[in-house]
Structure 1
Amino acid sequence: MQNADIARTLERLATLLDIEGANAFRVRAYRSAAQSIESHSRPLQKMVANDEALTELSGIGRDLAEKITELITTGHLAVLEETEKRLPSGLLQLMRVSQLGPRRIRQLHDALGIDSLEALKEAAREGRISALEGFGQKTEAGILREAERLDDALPRTRIDEALQAAEELIKWLERADGVQRLSVAGSLRRGLETIGDLDILVSSDDGPAIMAHLMNYPEIAEIVAHGKTKSTIYLHSGLQVDVRVVADESFGAALYYFTGSQAHNIATRKMATGRGLRINEYGIYKGKQQLAGRTEEEVLAKIDLPWIAPELRENRGEIEAALEGTLPELVTLDDIRGDLHMHTTASDGQASLEKMVHAARKRGYRYIAITDHSQRLAMANGLDARRLREQMAEIDALNGRLKNFTVLKGNEVDILEDGTLDLPDDVLAELDVCVFSVHSKFNLSREKQTERILRAMDNPHVNILAHPTGRIINGREGYDVDIEAVLHGARARGVFLEINAQPARLDLTDHWVCMARDIGVALAINTDAHATGQLGHMTVGVTQARSGWLERKDVLNTRTVTQLKKLMQR
């Protein structure tokens, strides 16, 4: 059982309990544990097998540790199964509708017996939802529109979950006799935020031995196909995996071919045809003669192209840029000097200020910004003016003791419905970095939501718009907002936007990242970490930036702390 599977189970329990109206602190405990487990570097399954104390993890006490052990050792969680008997599982699907939260879902279930997306759509079509207090016809129409969209959406696996599954499977395959090279391919290698299935490529002279070793992988739930050089399996998480074995002399060609995208491959195959050549998964050929295939670089060189980073291979101008010599020098993880959005135990984080600093320094950072929530998010224990000033004093004292590292004083301040901010200007003026974001009123019209954000940008003390569309991947659509207008507004006002690296958000999308670059708005890649382990989400944030063609100069937190502070002074 992967850490992601355990976290997903605890999050499911927390959501059901929240819908049921359980004690808020109990719900929060399960959610915090899920966050801690999801970002923990070591597999909990191994910790249990080695009889290590799970209580060492942030946010996990003895009771939770016992429940997690029960889940790992038996595959079941009694408290979840009991909750599921009380509540229909279809209620979880309703959480994907952005207009619905736990309280509203409970209201719909109690008043109308709604227990699934289908029942929700039926009630909306019949006008029964708008008759309930707090809804109305406009909300009902929005609910129906989104429920119909969700019903057609195919489930896909988030990039972080796919990366974890790939890492564990590759570790297993590395033990097989005869393995020469191994790599992830497909959409995961291209850095897509979600994937349909996982592609693993192996080079070896003994395909049957590799396939036999694969069949003993403990995480296999179902074997769909088993051959000498290709097998398809399903993992316990539900993820489909295709494993292929090729000769090492064809590994580069196969890696290029199976990485895709299809549109990119079609374009380069046409280039090869125009040169009297042929590209397939075995190599690049002139007639029957293989000209290259061992590496991707060799294959591309035969059609006069340099190596193109996998994140760019979507046939969105990368081939033309390669031919012109204008491919971007993409930002890398090593370019990142700090993280400008994170939370501590002062609000809803799981680690203290000192622990977040220690974890950031271990990653080689030179600075971080502490941006706990503002007072409006009472459930997140948001900070009022007094508590924020106390935290600023604590940060000043800590900076006095630190060498070659700076903690920036920040806050994630809520944008209220009218575009004003949740804390007074005199407090915001004392911050080094002000992150500002929407956490409420997601159902405003496109015009009003856009106007709300632009009005917040008019405040001279704000710097970085966090998770700009509010989307949750496989959860809810973002609120309706004109991101292009927001980007132009940010450029005019000297404000920045963030790529939120939480794998459940990855907000902005690669499309909007590209537009930000074209408009000239620098972006901050931030983890929005609520635990020390979540600082590692910077990896997928950088991948998202690379998919949007960003270079080092386009990313705010590649600057030195001196340069950054100057940019924050609007």
Structure 2
Amino acid sequence: MKNRTVAEILNKTADLLEMDGTNFRTKAYRRAAHTVEFLPEDIKSVKDEGKLEELPGIGKNIAKKIEEIIDTGGLEYYEDLKAMFPVDFEELMSVEGVGPKKIKLFYDTLGVRNLKDLEDAARRHKIRRLKGMGPKTELLILKNIQFARTDTGRKLLGQILPLGKSLKEKINGLDTVFKVEIAGSIRRRKETVGDIDLLVVADDSMDVMDKFTEMRGVEEIISKGPLKSTVRLEDGFEVDLRVFREESFGSALVYFTGSKETNVELRKIAISKGLKLNEYGVYRDETMIAGKTEEEVFRALGMDCPEPELRENQGEVEAALTGKLPDLVDYHGIKGDLHLHTNWSDGNSKIDEMVLKSVGMGYEYMAVTDHFRSIWIDNGVDEKDLKKQLLELKAINRELEDTGVDMCVFSGVEVDIDDKGNLNLDREVLEEMDIVVAALHSGLRQDKNELTDRIVNAMYNEYVDIIAHPTGRKILEKTGYKLEFERIVQASLDTNTFLEVNSDPDRLDLNDVMIREAIAQGCKLVINSNSHSLEEMDHMELGVATARQGWAESKDITNTLPLKTFKKMLNLN
């Protein structure tokens, strides 16, 4: 059984004890939960060795409780406490500002058992009549109930990353701030994010906290202190700001960037070397030996410094110990975008506008790949449109060459793969295109064998260069359709057809797991923005981040190649 599971049951027991008003035992269970959660070894192994009571904060009574959880998967004492308070505890706890003591108060005085009961009590102004409450508290509870109902707890990286960057810039502009970095799952570039974590080095921590909590856009101050404050913004995002001394900043970045699993592994390594590692530094006995930079912290542990995107305990710790970390594809290493939609089909921008944007992004090439008209998109291009577009692209390329701009605009099209794996465009037209992008857009209720057959058949079409958004997923809306992915990878290798890492923040498809599997087999990928506007072209960063999470290096990504080499690979004139 994982340590986290044991810790979770102990913490829930503490919550119920807090409702019962038993303060001493509440603290004991929370202390034990913390010990177990951050234990650098398997709690079951400690139990089997009979050493539970040697752990900090774990006495004979709680040791027996831990043994019961490990042996049975549950805790009778916890179930007995739950029976004392027949409320939907987890649902009520999801409301910000409502803790165990308030839950007990609402249950004892108002009979509140669940979220609906709580909302009814607030709307009928029953809460404001309770001791210590009032109209403001009642209104805040109503507002937070809505957050609890509508907030999944996760936001798309593409939604929250720009906000995180903006907040970092604002904090960095404060007079007393020397350094500020975004940490947490944003820094690891996870596809979804729970909140925003900012770490700061500053002269005057309270001045920073005052200005942080008074920033425009702050709707609610959840907590405020000299070293940590939390606010909720008007759009619902929560932001944590922590202040550290400069000599501890690197260690804080390591601690608040890595996943919980990675941090546990790092602490194990520290212990094995007779060291102690926490958010403030690396210590030998009571002497701090590292902490100012991340590189210094990892060096003290005898490791190379893994990039933030890798810190998920998926092999990066061992690779860092053995000098085998990948040289990840660089954010500025993309030489061209090969999946762009213009106002010829369902895009919002003109071709020449996208050309100027591409030049500004430092690209050497781009491809216009408007949707070809099909049963699922009636505003796509047809054969006549493509012929006209070819003439326009030739004129644009001549003008670029005449003005000395190093940019090549490839002709292209995105075509639908029908229910048999054929393309909805004649080969005579396909032959004229530099880049052909193919994708599934319809008939998605077929089984995984049929869907895989369709993609593989399309890959064996000599004109198809790229399979777009291969699994069709929408991160917070639908899982991708099931595929026999190993067959698709093999077809990619056999046909030299590239699988796309789609940078649309809703998609990020392929995901990191599939990327790692594909490149392990020697498959070549392409990172595209799938843009329908100039603004969306900036999403390329998200695709690169996803590829980096999948351990992709530049050699694995086709569109990191310079123009001349890229054209040679695809036999383009």
TM-score of the pair, normalised by structure 1? 0.71
- Pick the aligned partner of 2:548 from 546, 549, 557: 546
State the one-letter code of the partner of 1:214.
F
Total equivalences in the alignment: 420
1:194 and 1:321 mapped to 2: Cα distance? 26
1:87-139, Cα deviation, whole Å (9 max, x unpaired): xxxxxxxxxxxxxxxxxxxxxxxxxxxxxxxxxxxxxxxxxxxxxxxxxxxxx
Q: Which moved more, 1:480-489 or 1:301-310?
A: 480-489
TM-aligned CA deviation for residue 306 of structure 1:
1.6
1:362 and 1:155 mapped to 2: Cα distance? 36
SS in 2 for 1:180: strand
1:299 and 1:517 mapped to 2: Cα distance? 30
TM-aligned CA deviation for residue 384 of structure 1:
1.7
- Give matches, 1:70-81, under 5 Å: none
Match in the other structure for 2:265: 267
State the one-letter code of the partner of 1:391.
Q
Taking a change above 3 Å as real, the CA distance of residues 216 and 458 of structure 1, as seen in their structure-2 partners, is: same
Match in the other structure for 2:239: 241
Match in the other structure for 1:286: 284
- Pick the aligned partner of 1:495 from 488, 494, 497: 497
State the one-letter code of the partner of 2:232.
Y
SS in 2 for 1:335: coil
SS in 1 for 2:215: coil
SS in 2 for 1:511: helix
- Pick the aligned partner of 2:397 from 396, 399, 418: 399
- Give matches, 1:103-252, under 5 Å: 154-252=152-250
State the one-letter code of the partner of 2:441.
H
1:252 and 1:190 mapped to 2: Cα distance? 15
TM-aligned CA deviation for residue 377 of structure 1:
5.5
Match in the other structure for 1:339: 337
- Pick the aligned partner of 2:413 from 404, 411, 414: 411
Match in the other structure for 1:505: 507
Match in the other structure for 1:39: none
Q: Does 1:381 align with 2:383?
A: no
- Pick the aligned partner of 2:461 from 459, 462, 477: 459
- Pick the aligned partner of 1:432 from 427, 431, 434: 434
- Pick the aligned partner of 2:481 from 479, 482, 489: 479
State the one-letter code of the partner of 1:281.
E
TM-aligned CA deviation for residue 174 of structure 1:
2.3
Taking a change above 3 Å as real, the CA distance of residues 362 and 176 of structure 1, as seen in their structure-2 partners, is: closer
SS in 2 for 1:402: helix
2:251 and 2:378 mapped to 1: Cα distance? 50
1:166 and 1:173 mapped to 2: Cα distance? 11
State the one-letter code of the partner of 2:262.
H
State the one-letter code of the partner of 2:314.
R
TM-aligned CA deviation for residue 380 of structure 1:
5.3
CA contact (8 A) 1:419 1:451 kept: yes
Match in the other structure for 2:529: 527
State the one-letter code of the partner of 2:359.
R
CA contact (8 A) 1:384 1:423 kept: no
Q: Does 1:296 align with 2:321?
A: no
Match in the other structure for 1:361: 359
CA contact (8 A) 1:176 1:209 kept: no
- Pick the aligned partner of 1:470 from 461, 469, 472: 472
CA contact (8 A) 1:259 1:310 kept: yes
1:243-276, Cα deviation, whole Å (9 max, x unpaired): 1111111111111100011111111111111110
1:140-166, Cα deviation, whole Å (9 max, x unpaired): xxxxxxxxxxx9994411112211221
TM-aligned CA deviation for residue 565 of structure 1:
2.6
Taking a change above 3 Å as real, the CA distance of residues 192 and 201 of structure 1, as seen in their structure-2 partners, is: same
2:552 and 2:262 mapped to 1: Cα distance? 19
1:49-77, Cα deviation, whole Å (9 max, x unpaired): xxxxxxxxxxxxxxxxxxxxxxxxxxxxx
- Give matches, 1:311-326, under 5 Å: 311-326=309-324
Q: Does 1:517 align with 2:515?
A: no
2:373 and 2:280 mapped to 1: Cα distance? 60
1:456 and 1:448 mapped to 2: Cα distance? 12
1:175 and 1:153 mapped to 2: Cα distance? 31
CA contact (8 A) 1:177 1:209 kept: no
Match in the other structure for 1:67: none
Q: Does 1:568 align with 2:566?
A: no
TM-aligned CA deviation for residue 324 of structure 1:
2.2
CA contact (8 A) 2:376 2:442 kept: no
State the one-letter code of the partner of 1:280.
N
Say which structure, 1 or 2, has more relative contact order (CA 8 Å, 6+ apart).
1
Match in the other structure for 1:327: 325
TM-aligned CA deviation for residue 498 of structure 1:
0.7
Taking a change above 3 Å as real, the CA distance of residues 406 and 445 of structure 1, as seen in their structure-2 partners, is: same
Q: CA RMSD in A?
A: 1.7
1:357 and 1:488 mapped to 2: Cα distance? 34
State the one-letter code of the partner of 1:162.
I
CA contact (8 A) 2:180 2:198 kept: yes
CA contact (8 A) 1:510 1:545 kept: yes
Name the larger-Rg structure. 2
Q: Which moved more, 1:252-261 or 1:328-337?
A: 328-337
